[in-house]
Amino acid sequence: TCIHALSLCVSLFRLKDLEVAELGDSDVHVKMLAAPVNPADINMIQGTYAILSPLPAVGGNEGVGEVLEVGRRVTALKPGDWVIPAGAGLGTWRTQGVFPAELLLKVPSDMPVLCAATLSVNPCTAYRMLADFETLVPGDSVIQNAANSGVGQAVIQIAKASGIKTINVVRDRPDLPKLVERLMALGADHVITEEMLRKPEMKDIFKNIPKPRLALNCVGGKSTTEMMRHLQPGGTMVTYGGMAKQPVMVPVSAFIFRDVRLRGFWMTQWRKDHAQDQESLAGMMDALCQLIRRGQLTAPACTEVPLQDYKAALEATMKPFTSSKQILLL
């Protein structure tokens, strides 16, 4: 049996026919349904990410598939179940694959396919950052940049479900009113541009909500420095991306007089650190699936692309001001 896979050779991507591997006793044969193109996938292609697969490799770290067949020692999964990757580097941009059962997580098959396909990276990142760095209670606030990203959209929705206010920073753009409307519809309390971070009008926001104890940074550069000015004393800024490709610059006064804390977060590392802590992983996945079931967490804005049009999907992901996640339909 041949499958189609997006294979990364030394200098280019191409769609290749691969033979399906033989099913081992502890393996699972999966028919992939959908897989997104994330910025981290592009970084892996460029060779700039912290984990790189040996070449040639199949691209894609995230997605959802349906179990077709299981090896005789596999008891936790059965044909018809939906599965997502348990970690990074699975190679999801393919029509079918045979994977060790330990590399897969079962998810409910009654959720929308796009929610399942985009579950294992962005919502998990948002959930952990909101839970692990500051003890937030209803009425508290969070400030974040890149608020229109997949993580940003998940932060807005998870925070809203928990009664936490969000101040959401985006870059100015031609269709700004449309973007503001979309983020407000998700539950954003305030949507502002990076330029507004520097303006006195920011004080008006804090007449109604407290200054944030938590800032989430996916950009770097000026955006980060300006966002930090609005953190409460003793607050925490968590950096999980660097889209501006510029360093995080912090005024000395923020450290000395306001004791601001700087932390980093990488979902892949969290999974490694908690590999033996199935309770934490199961609790997070259950909480996210419950939010999806209740309609409080939806997939990010998506553009569905057939696998054969993968070049368009890769190019669209690298364009500036992208507010729609490219999803390969497999």
User: How long, in residues, is the chain?
Assistant: 330
Residues paired with residue 143 on neighbouring β-strands, in sequence order: 167, 215
Sequence-distant (≥ 6) Cβ neighbours of residue 257 within 8 angstroms: 233
Query: Strands 64-70 and 82-85, how do they pair?
Result: antiparallel
H-helix segments, 85-229: 113-117, 122-132, 150-161, 176-186, 202-205, 222-228
Pull the structure tokens for residue 193: 């541009």
CA distance 175 to 305: 23
For the annotated catalytic residues, the residue numbers are 49
CA distance 13 to 251: 43
CA distance 33 to 38: 16
- Sign of the dihedral through C-alpha 79, 81, 82, 84: negative
CA distance 216 to 205: 18
Upstream peptide bond of 79 is cis (omega within 30 degrees of 0)? no
DSSP string spanning 247-264?
-----HHHHHTT--EEEE
